């Protein structure tokens, strides 16, 4: 074997190790959720669905799952609308203070969620939102809007601004142009943004932990279970949670992949 081939092999092996470190926790959660043994260790104790049966019989977990689905369902719609609006404003307008406007829309993910959680808790305690599902939704929208904005803005970068101007010159109102040209063009990005923001909300645990009170979401329930002893039920919940969020992310990425693929073909 030549030196170059050996070097390449070593690099590939190292990359494999890095990916193993990243994905081992995900894979093992799913594998051990089907393990009959109480403690997740080797050797494998046989196939079993008992942990799934246990969590589906648990009322607190059911309520957590329902709360999470409600929160994610509402969050993804509001966040995608706000993210689309902010991206369109960035694409279409120039105005004084635009950089402040964009920073306001984009900054929340850079603030640690523990701080957002405390800030929202103290604020929402004053306005009567804390301990409610809308209280969680409000925080999740703040956190996930920038992701929606980024996806739509990427898409709009491929739209020639002259097309909109041509529509106006031909007498179309801005509203007609918006729903006849802009929204259809952005449809894949909007759909991807809905999936991605739903995933962000479905997995968010820190804001929800501070704000939720008795209305726990599923990740908050998981956090509470982590404080107890080792329980294979966490693996079963984890496998379900991974299933949901990985599905959402894969759908979002497939939409984006189709989008960029078509753009590349058009340019080429």
Partner 1 sequence: MSEPLPTPDTGTAPFTATSRRATAARFAMFWGAPPALWQAAFFLVPLGFLVAMTFWSVKSFRLTPDATLANWTFILNAGFFRNAYVYTFWLSALTAVIASVAAFPAAYTLAYKVSPATRRFMIFMLVVPFFTSYPVRIYSTQIFFSPQGIINTVLAPLGLGPLQVLNTPTGTVVGYLVLTLPLVVLLQTFALANVPRTLIEAAHNLGCGRFRTIGTVIIPSARIGLIVAGTFAFVLAFGDYVAPTYLGGSRPPTLSILIADQVKSGNNWPRASVVAVMMIVTLMVVMLVMIGLAYGRRKERP
Contacting residue, 60, 253, 258, 262, with partner 1 by CB under 8 A: 253
**44 is a site residue for partner 1 (CB under 8 A):** no
Q: Report the C-alpha gap between 212 and 141 in whole angstroms.
A: 15
**18 is a site residue for partner 1 (CB under 8 A):** yes
Binding to partner 1, residues 191-210 (CB under 8 A): 196, 199-200, 203, 205-206, 210
Binding to partner 1, residues 83-122 (CB under 8 A): 83, 85-86, 88-89, 93, 101, 104-105, 107-108, 110-116, 118-122
Write the DSSP symbol of residue 35: B
With tokens 């992310």, the residue in question is: 249
Compare residues 12 and 57 and give the one whose CB is closer to partner 1.
Answer: 12
Instruction: Judge whether 136 and 163 are in contact, CB under 8 Å.
Output: no
Task: Give the other-Cβ count within 10 Å of 198's Cβ.
Answer: 28
Find the shortest distance in angstroms from Cβ 53 to partner 1: 19
Helix (H) or strand (E) holding 88: helix 59-92
**141 is a site residue for partner 1 (CB under 8 A):** yes
Phi-psi category of 134—alpha, beta or left, where left has phi over 0 and alpha has psi -120 to 50? alpha
Write the DSSP symbol of residue 47: B
**216 is a site residue for partner 1 (CB under 8 A):** no
Binding to partner 1, residues 154-183 (CB under 8 A): 171-176, 178-180
Binding to partner 1, residues 46-65 (CB under 8 A): none
Tokens in use for 253?
């990425």
Q: DSSP letters of 97-142? A: THHHHHHHHH-GGGS-HHHHHHHHHHHHHHHT-TTSHHHHHHHHHH
**238 is a site residue for partner 1 (CB under 8 A):** yes
Compare residues 46 and 171 and give the one whose CB is closer to partner 1.
Answer: 171
Compare residues 39 and 56 and give the one whose CB is closer to partner 1.
Answer: 39
Binding to partner 1, residues 20-39 (CB under 8 A): 21-26, 28-29, 32, 39
Contacting residue, 75, 235, 255, 259, with partner 1 by CB under 8 A: 235
Give phi and psi for 166, each to the nearest 5.
-60, -40
**19 is a site residue for partner 1 (CB under 8 A):** yes
């Amino acid at each position: 074997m030549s030196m170059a081939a050996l070097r390449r092999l070593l690099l590939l092996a190292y990359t494999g190790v890095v990916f193993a470190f990243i994905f081992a926790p995900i894979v093992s959660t799913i594998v051990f959720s089907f393990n009959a043994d109480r403690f997740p260790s080797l050797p494998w104790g046989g196939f079993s669905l008992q942990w799934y049966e246990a969590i589906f019989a648990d009322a607190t977990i059911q309520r957590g799952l329902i709360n999470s689905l409600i929160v994610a369902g509402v969050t993804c719609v509001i966040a995608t609308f706000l993210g689309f609006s902010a991206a369109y404003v960035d694409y279409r307008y120039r105005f004084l203070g635009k950089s402040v406007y964009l920073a306001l829309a984009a900054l929340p993910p850079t603030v640690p969620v523990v701080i957002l959680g405390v800030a929202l808790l103290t604020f929402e305690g004053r306005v009567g939102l804390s301990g409610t599902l809308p209280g969680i939704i409000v925080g999740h929208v703040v956190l996930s809007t920038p992701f929606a904005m980024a996806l739509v803005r990427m898409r709009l970068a491929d739209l020639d601004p002259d097309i909109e101007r041509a529509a106006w010159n031909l007498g179309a109102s801005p509203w007609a142009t918006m729903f006849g040209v802009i929204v259809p063009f952005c449809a894949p990005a909007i759909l991807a943004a809905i999936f991605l923001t739903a995933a962000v909300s479905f997995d968010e645990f820190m804001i929800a932990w501070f704000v939720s009170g008795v209305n726990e979401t599923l990740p908050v329930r998981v956090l509470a279970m982590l404080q107890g002893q080792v329980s294979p039920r966490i693996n079963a919940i984890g496998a379900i949670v991974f299933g949901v969020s990985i599905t959402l992310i894969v759908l979002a990425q497939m939409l984006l992949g189709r989008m960029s693929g078509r753009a590349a073909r058009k340019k080429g």
